[in-house]
């Protein structure tokens, strides 16, 4: 019994000397309407240090916002005889539709590459799982292509020096979401970095959803694809006939 009590005492001692993150988001549910042109998400919170363990000079914060995760196929296009056609392709089992990393300093100044790989801190350290066997050079090429494509669409981004820390206790970061941000479930992971290592981490969940007519159309296309296709063809035919009729009258 004495040994068990000693172990419990050690556990409590270690836990009591660990800094704690208290994160929050400005809104955990973002609604997309027909006139949606983007949004800004504020991620903020506080760092609580146990007595005698505060190391204010070397505390850094990294926030990773990502989601929704789904299977995706990346295709490479090649120009043959003046025509662009699909060539090689690679499928990834789990790729985020949106991925942003905000940090108090550039990632390479906060942690080493191994730590950045483990926690996926930064676009250079994003871990994507291919669906089948693929050469490492081919994998790097397709990952680089996906990152470049989504970066140009503002769906993937590194945001160094964008986390503000006040009095080494309060922090905040603002992340802009483009109009093309995909709907689904997101995670906002906050990491406290002390002396180059992750000292604490917490996760908040964020949901982005369509509402109104946009939500109805999305649900219809996903749950009743055949019916959605028939309606789309019918509307196209009606609009085409109406346009032709009006032009003949003119």
Which of the listed ranges 13-17, 58-62, 140-144, 159-163 does the model predict with the highest average pLDDT?
159-163
High-pLDDT (> 90) share of the chain, %: 41
pLDDT at 3 over 90: no
Q: Which helix (H) or strand (E) holds 50?
A: none
pTM: 0.74
**In whole angstroms, what is the distance from residue 50 CA to residue 158 CA?**
31
pLDDT computed for residue 55 by the predictor: 56
pLDDT computed for residue 32 by the predictor: 84
Choose the weakest-confidence range: 49-53, 139-143, 200-204.
Answer: 49-53
pLDDT computed for residue 246 by the predictor: 61
Mean predicted confidence (pLDDT) in 31-40: 84
Average pLDDT, the chain: 80
- DSSP string covering 69-114: EEEEEEEEEEEETTEEEEEEEEEEEEEEEEEEEEESS-GGGTS-HH
pLDDT computed for residue 210 by the predictor: 79
CA-CA distances (angstroms) from residue 52 to 16, 192, 195? Answer: 11, 17, 16
> pLDDT of 172-188, one tens digit each?
999 999 999 999 999 99
Contact predicate 224/55, CB 8 Å: no
pLDDT at 129 over 70: yes
> pLDDT of 40-85, one tens digit each?
999 999 998 887 665 555 789 999 999 998 888 887 766 666 666 6
């Amino acid at each position: 019994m004495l040994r068990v009590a000693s172990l419990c005492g050690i556990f409590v001692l270690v836990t009591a000397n660990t800094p704690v993150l208290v994160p929050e988001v400005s809104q955990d549910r973002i609604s997309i309407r027909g006139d949606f042109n983007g949004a800004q998400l504020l991620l903020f919170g506080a760092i609580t240090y146990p007595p005698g363990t505060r190391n204010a000079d070397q505390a850094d914060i990294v926030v990773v916002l990502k989601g929704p995760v789904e299977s995706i196929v990346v295709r490479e296009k090649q120009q043959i005889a003046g025509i662009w056609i699909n060539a090689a392709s690679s499928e990834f089992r789990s790729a985020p539709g949106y991925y942003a990393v905000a940090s108090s300093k550039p990632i390479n100044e906060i942690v080493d590459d191994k730590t950045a790989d483990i926690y996926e801190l930064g676009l250079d350290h994003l871990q994507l799982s291919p669906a089948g066997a693929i050469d490492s050079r081919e994998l790097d090429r397709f990952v680089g292509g996906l990152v470049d494509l989504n970066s140009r669409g503002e769906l993937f981004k590194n945001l160094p020096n964008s986390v503000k820390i006040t009095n080494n206790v309060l922090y905040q970061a603002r992340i802009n979401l483009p109009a093309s941000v995909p709907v689904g479930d997101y995670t906002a992971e906050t990491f406290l970095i002390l002396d180059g290592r992750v000292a604490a981490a917490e996760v908040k969940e964020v949901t982005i959803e369509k509402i109104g007519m946009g939500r109805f159309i999305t649900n219809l296309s996903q749950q009743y694809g055949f019916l959605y296709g028939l309606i789309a063809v019918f509307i196209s035919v009606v609009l085409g006939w109406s346009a032709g009729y009006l032009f003949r009258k003119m």
